[in-house]
C-alpha cells in the first residue's frame, strides 16, 4: 500500500481549496463524456504522483493499454491519471464515481478507504467475476480479506502489499560512531541514535517520522500506528474486536504520541513546516536521503524503487549506503518487531458503464508475468503465491527478502467503513503534539472525544 488520501467525510470541512480541486476533477471528467457513452472503451482512473519524475504506474499502464488493445481488436483503453496530493486523490475519484456520466470503469483504490467507498455505494461486488477466474486461488488470504466488505463480498483485486521498517544511512552512522549493522531493540534505542547523530553530525536531520494531517495515511499508518501496534496495549489497540467497539483511554496511544512529541520537541526530526507538507515523502526519497541530509526514516519497503536505474532519483550508491532495520516494539517485548501492511486494489465503480470490459483489463494486468513485473517496478510485496516464487521478483532489488520476512510481524488497520474518519482524528492529534500545541495526554483526550462522536459512542475504555 502507498498511504493515500483522507476520507470523503472530510471534504465538506476541508475548505475552498479542496472544493476547487474536486470541482476541477468533475469538470475534467465531464469533458470526456460518460463511461457508458462507448461500449468499446474502458476508462481507467488512477493516482499519478505529484512528482513528475515518478512514472512507474504510467509506464506500466501504457504498456498494458497497448497489450490489451492488441489482444482485443476494436476495444480502447482510456487512461485517466489524476495528479494530486494524496489527500485530494480520494475526493476527486469519489466525485467522479457519483454519476454515470463521469464514473470510470476501473479505479485504483487504497484498501484503507475501500470500505467507506463501499458503504457510500460507489463500488460494485466482484464475486461473480472471481468465481470464474482461476487466478483468484493464487492470492493469499490476507490480501483477499483486505478487499472484502462486511457483507462478505469482494470489491477489489489486490495487486501487492508492503511492509515498513527503519531505513538508515550507514555513512552518517559511521560519522556518528554508530554501527553499520544497527538493529535497535527498543524505542529508546532509536531516540538515543537520533540524539547522537544530532550531536556528532551537525546539519543532518537525525530521524523522520511522518506526522500530521497533510501527509494523511503516511502519517497515521506509517508513523503513528507503527508505534501504537508496538506498545503491547492489546492486540487491537484501535478497535476491540470482541466488543466491536473502538478503544479510548489507551496508554499505548499516549505513549505513541509521546514518541512523536520527543522527535519534534527535541528537534530530532525535520522542520515542522516541512514535516507537515503533504508532499514530504517526495522530499524524503528524492532529496534528503540521497543527498545525505537525513539519517533515519521510518518508512516503507518500496523506497528503493526511487533510486533504481529507471527511478525518479537515480542513486546507485543506495545499495551500499543504506541499511535496513526492523521497527522494534516499545520496550523490546515479544515479538520484538512490528510492521504495518496495507495494499492497493483495482475496483469497478457501481456506475461503470462497461464492468465486463473493466474486469477483462484487470485479468490482463494480473497474468503471472504482468503481476510479477508490476510488483518489481513498484517495489511491492507479492500477494500471490506464484508471484512470490517468480525469479524476477525474488531478485528484483536489495532488501526484498528483508521486507518480505517482516510480514510475520505485520498488522492491518481495522477494515471498517468509519476508519478513514478515525484516521483523520489521529492525524490531528499527531499534528497538535508535533507543533507543540498540546502534550500527549491532552492530544489523546481530544482524540477520545472526537472518536466518540465519529462512532456514535461505540467505544470501550481501556483499564
Q: Is residue 276 in a domain?
A: yes
Instruction: Report whether 262 contacts 268 (CB < 8 A).
Output: yes
pLDDT, average across residues 386-393: 90
Q: Is residue 399 in a domain?
A: no
Most confident of 1-15, 136-150, 341-355: 341-355
Of 213, 223, 217, 388, the C-alpha closest to 299 is 223
Give CA 358 to chain center in angstroms.
Answer: 24
User: Is 273 found in the same domain as 208?
Assistant: yes
User: Is 208 found in the same domain as 75?
Assistant: no
User: Is 304 found in the same domain as 420?
Assistant: yes
Cα 20 to Cα 316: distance, rounded to the nearest angstrom: 40
User: Is 287 found in the same domain as 434?
Assistant: yes
Q: What CATH number does the domain containing 364 carry?
A: 3.40.190.10
Q: What pTM, to 2 d.p., does this model score?
A: 0.78
User: Is 168 found in the same domain as 84?
Assistant: no
User: Is 62 found in the same domain as 104?
Assistant: yes
Q: Is residue 239 in a domain?
A: yes
User: Is 177 found in the same domain as 56?
Assistant: no
Q: Is residue 403 in a domain?
A: no
pLDDT, average across residues 296-315: 88
Cα 306 to Cα 64: distance, rounded to the nearest angstrom: 22
Q: Is residue 182 in a domain?
A: yes
Domain count, the chain: 2
More confident residue, 313 or 229: 229
User: Is 423 found in the same domain as 366?
Assistant: no
Residue 436, pLDDT score: 98
Cα 67 to Cα 328: distance, rounded to the nearest angstrom: 44
Q: Is residue 408 in a domain?
A: no
Residue 444 is part of which domain span? 164-341+416-461
Cα 210 to Cα 221: distance, rounded to the nearest angstrom: 9
Tens digits of per-residue pLDDT, 443-453?
999 999 999 99
Tens digits of per-residue pLDDT, 48-86?
877 766 688 899 999 999 999 999 999 999 999 999 876
Residue 364, pLDDT score: 98
Q: Is residue 392 in a domain?
A: no
User: Is 111 found in the same domain as 76?
Assistant: yes
What is the gyration radius of the CA atoms in the chain, in angstroms?
22
DSSP string, 190-246: HHHHHHHHHHHSTTSEEEE---SSTTTHHHIIIIIHHHHTTS-S-SSSSEETTTTEE
Q: Is residue 227 in a domain?
A: yes
Amino acid at each position: 500500500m502507498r498511504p493515500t488520501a483522507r476520507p470523503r467525510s472530510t471534504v465538506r470541512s476541508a475548505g475552498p481549496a479542496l472544493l476547487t480541486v474536486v470541482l476541477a476533477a468533475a469538470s475534467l471528467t465531464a469533458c470526456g463524456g460518460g463511461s457508458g457513452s462507448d461500449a468499446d472503451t474502458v476508462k481507467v482512473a488512477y493516482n499519478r504522483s505529484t512528482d513528475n519524475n515518478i512514472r512507474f504506474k504510467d509506464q506500466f499502464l501504457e504498456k498494458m493499454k497497448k497489450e490489451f488493445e492488441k489482444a482485443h481488436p476494436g476495444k480502447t483503453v482510456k487512461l485517466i491519471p489524476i495528479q494530486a496530493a494524496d489527500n485530494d486523490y480520494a475526493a476527486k475519484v469519489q466525485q467522479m464515481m457519483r454519476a454515470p456520466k463521469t464514473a470510470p470503469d476501473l479505479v485504483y483504490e487504497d484498501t484503507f478507504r475501500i470500505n467507506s467507498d463501499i458503504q457510500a455505494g460507489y463500488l460494485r461486488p466482484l464475486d461473480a467475476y472471481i468465481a470464474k477466474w482461476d487466478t483468484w486461488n493464487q492470492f493469499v488470504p490476507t490480501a483477499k480479506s483486505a478487499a472484502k466488505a462486511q457483507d462478505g463480498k469482494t470489491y477489489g483485486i489486490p495487486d501487492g502489499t508492503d511492509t515498513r521498517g527503519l531505513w538508515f544511512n550507514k555513512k552518517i552512522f559511521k560519522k556518528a560512531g554508530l554501527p553499520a549493522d544497527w538493529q535497535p531493540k527498543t524505542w529508546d534505542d532509536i531516540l538515543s541514535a537520533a540524539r547522537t547523530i544530532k550531536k556528532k553530525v551537525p546539519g543532518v536531520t537525525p530521524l523522520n517520522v511522518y506526522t500530521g494531517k497533510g501527509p494523511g495515511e503516511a502519517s497515521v499508518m506509517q508513523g503513528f500506528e507503527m508505534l501504537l501496534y508496538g506498545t503491547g496495549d492489546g492486540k487491537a489497540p484501535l478497535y476491540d474486536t470482541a466488543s466491536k467497539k473502538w478503544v479510548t483511554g489507551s496508554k499505548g496511544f499516549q505513549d505513541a504520541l509521546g514518541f512523536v512529541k520527543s522527535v519534534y520537541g527535541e528537534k530530532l526530526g525535520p522542520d515542522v513546516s516541512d514535516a507537515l507538507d503533504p508532499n514530504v515523502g517526495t522530499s524524503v526519497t528524492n532529496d534528503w536521503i540521497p543527498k545525505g541530509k537525513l539519517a533515519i526514516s521510518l518508512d516503507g519497503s518500496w523506497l528503493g524503487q526511487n533510486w533504481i536505474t529507471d527511478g525518479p532519483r537515480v542513486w546507485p550508491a543506495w545499495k551500499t549506503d543504506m541499511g535496513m532495520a526492523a521497527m522494534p516494539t516499545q520496550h523490546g517485548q515479544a515479538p520484538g518487531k512490528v510492521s504495518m501492511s496495507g495494499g492497493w486494489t483495482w475496483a469497478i465503480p457501481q456506475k461503470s458503464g462497461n464492468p465486463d470490459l473493466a474486469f477483462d483489463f484487470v485479468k490482463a494486468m494480473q497474468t503471472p508475468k504482468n503481476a510479477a513485473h508490476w510488483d518489481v517496478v513498484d517495489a511491492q510485496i507479492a500477494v500471490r503465491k506464484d508471484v512470490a516464487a517468480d525469479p524476477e521478483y525474488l531478485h528484483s532489488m536489495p532488501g526484498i527478502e528483508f521486507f518480505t520476512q517482516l510480514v510475520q510481524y505485520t498488522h492491518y488497520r481495522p477494515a471498517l467503513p468509519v476508519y478513514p474518519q478515525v484516521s483523520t482524528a489521529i492525524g490531528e492529534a499527531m499534528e497538535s503534539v508535533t507543533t507543540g500545541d498540546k502534550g500527549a495526554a491532552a492530544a489523546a483526550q481530544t482524540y477520545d472525544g472526537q472518536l466518540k462522536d465519529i462512532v456514535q459512542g461505540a467505544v470501550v475504555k481501556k483499564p
